[in-house]
Structure 1
Amino acid sequence: MAKVKIITPVHIGDGEKIEAPCFHRINGQVNRYRFTDLFEQLPVSKLTDSEFLNRLQKNSSSRSDLYSVFNQIDYTKIQPLYSVFYEWDGIASNRDVASQAKSCEKPYIPGSTLKGAIENAFNYALLLQFYKKKKDQIEVFLNSNPRITEGYMLKMLFGDPCDKADSFMKEFYSCLSCADIYFDQIEVNDAKRWNIYKKNSNKIPLEAPECIMAGQESTINNLVQFDTVKIKQLKEDDNFPQEYRRILSFLKIPNIAKACNWYIKDILKIEQSEDLHRFYWDFEPINHSIQEIKTLIASCQPNQFYLRVGMHTNYFAKTVSVFFKEKMPEIYQDKFNDLFAPAKKRGRKSSDAENMPVTRTILFNEREGNMLAGFIKVEL
Structure 2
Amino acid sequence: MRVRVKVLSPVHIGNGERISRLEFFVEKGRLKVYKFDRIISTIERLANPQLRNNAYLWFKTSKNLSLEEFLRNFKINLEPNYELEINGSLNSSQVEEFIKILEGPYIPGSELKGSIRHLIACAWFMDKPDLVIEKVKQLLNSGRAKDQREQNNVEGELERSVFYPKGERDAQFDVLKVLSIPDSQPLPYQSLRVEVPKLIGSNRTLYPCEALKEGVEFEMEININKNAYRGLETQRKLPEIGKHFSDENAFWNFLVDCSRNFYSKLLDEEIKFFQNRHQDIAKHLEKLKNHLNTSGVLLRLGKHEGILSTTLLLIVKEKDKALFDEFFRATQNIAREQTNKTRRVNSQGLTFGWLLLERL
1:259 alignment counterpart: 258
Distance in 2 (CA, whole Å) between partners of 1:336 and 1:169 is 34
Moved more, 45-54 or 353-362: 45-54
Relative distance call for 1:28 and 1:321 in structure 2 (3 A) is closer
TM-score (norm 1): 0.73
Q: How does 1:10-29 map to 2 (within 5 A)?
A: 10-20=11-21, 22-24=23-25
Paired residue secondary structure (1:215):
coil
Q: CA deviation at 1:264?
A: 2.1
2:235 alignment counterpart: 237
Relative distance call for 1:321 and 1:188 in structure 2 (3 A) is same
2:211 aligned with 1:249, yes or no? no
Q: Is the 8 A contact 1:175 1:231 kept in 2?
A: yes
2:160 aligned with 1:177, yes or no? no
2:284 aligned with 1:293, yes or no? no
Q: CA deviation at 1:69?
A: 3.3
Q: How does 1:224-373 map to 2 (within 5 A)?
A: 224-238=222-236, 240=237, 245-251=239-245, 252-274=251-273, 276-281=274-279, 284=280, 286-298=281-293, 300-301=294-295, 304-311=296-303, 313=304, 320-336=312-328, 341=331, 350-352=333-335, 355-357=338-340, 359-364=342-347, 369-373=348-352
Q: Is the 8 A contact 2:301 2:355 kept in 1?
A: yes
Q: Is the 8 A contact 1:41 1:74 kept in 2?
A: no
Paired residue secondary structure (1:69):
helix
Distance in 2 (CA, whole Å) between partners of 1:297 and 1:267 is 12
Distance in 2 (CA, whole Å) between partners of 1:138 and 1:40 is 56
2:189 aligned with 1:195, yes or no? no
1:143 to 137, 145, 155: 137
Q: Deviations over 1:185-210 (max 9, x none)?
A: 210111222436xxxxx4x4322101
Relative distance call for 1:52 and 1:259 in structure 2 (3 A) is same
2:75 aligned with 1:80, yes or no? no
Q: CA deviation at 1:88?
A: 8.3
Q: Is the 8 A contact 1:176 1:226 kept in 2?
A: yes
Relative distance call for 1:52 and 1:88 in structure 2 (3 A) is farther
Paired residue secondary structure (1:265):
helix
Name the amino acid aligned to 1:177: S
1:199 alignment counterpart: none
Q: How does 1:97-246 map to 2 (within 5 A)?
A: 97-131=95-129, 135=130, 139-145=133-139, 147-148=153-154, 150-153=156-159, 155=161, 163-164=167-168, 166-167=169-170, 170-182=173-185, 183-184=187-188, 185-195=191-201, 202=203, 204-220=204-220, 223-238=221-236, 240=237, 245-246=239-240
Paired residue secondary structure (1:377):
strand
Q: Is the 8 A contact 1:38 1:70 kept in 2?
A: no
Q: CA deviation at 1:292?
A: 0.9
2:4 aligned with 1:3, yes or no? yes
Distance in 1 (CA, whole Å) between partners of 2:214 and 2:26 is 21
Q: Is the 8 A contact 1:20 1:96 kept in 2?
A: yes
Q: CA deviation at 1:25?
A: 6.6
**Number of matched pairs:** 332
Relative distance call for 1:206 and 1:68 in structure 2 (3 A) is farther
Paired residue secondary structure (1:260):
helix
Paired residue secondary structure (2:118):
helix
Q: Which has the higher contact order (CA 8 A, sep 6+)?
A: 2
Q: CA deviation at 1:376?
A: 0.6
Distance in 2 (CA, whole Å) between partners of 1:294 and 1:215 is 17
Paired residue secondary structure (1:85):
strand
Q: Deviations over 1:329-372 (max 9, x none)?
A: 3333444577xx4xxxxxxx6344873456332222xxxx3321
Distance in 2 (CA, whole Å) between partners of 1:13 and 1:234 is 34
Q: CA deviation at 1:53?
A: 4.9
| Contiguous gaps of at least 5 residues in structure 2 | 140-149, 246-250
Q: CA deviation at 1:321?
A: 2.5
Relative distance call for 1:272 and 1:87 in structure 2 (3 A) is closer
Q: Deviations over 1:151-184 (max 9, x none)?
A: 4245499995xx41x3378521211122222432
1:376 to 343, 346, 355: 355
Paired residue secondary structure (2:106):
strand
The percentage of aligned residue pairs carrying the same residue is 18
Distance in 1 (CA, whole Å) between partners of 2:199 and 2:89 is 22
Distance in 2 (CA, whole Å) between partners of 1:50 and 1:233 is 61
CA RMSD of the aligned region, Å?
A: 3.7
Moved more, 288-297 or 260-269: 260-269
Q: Is the 8 A contact 1:265 1:294 kept in 2?
A: yes
Name the amino acid aligned to 1:256: L
Q: CA deviation at 1:144?
A: 3.6
Distance in 2 (CA, whole Å) between partners of 1:155 and 1:5 is 32
Q: CA deviation at 1:269?
A: 1.9
Distance in 2 (CA, whole Å) between partners of 1:4 and 1:362 is 21
Q: Is the 8 A contact 1:46 1:52 kept in 2?
A: no
Q: CA deviation at 1:215?
A: 0.8
| Contiguous gaps of at least 5 residues in structure 1 | 197-201, 342-348
Paired residue secondary structure (1:205):
coil
TM-score (norm 2): 0.77
Name the amino acid aligned to 1:273: K
Distance in 2 (CA, whole Å) between partners of 1:28 and 1:195 is 28
Relative distance call for 1:106 and 1:293 in structure 2 (3 A) is same
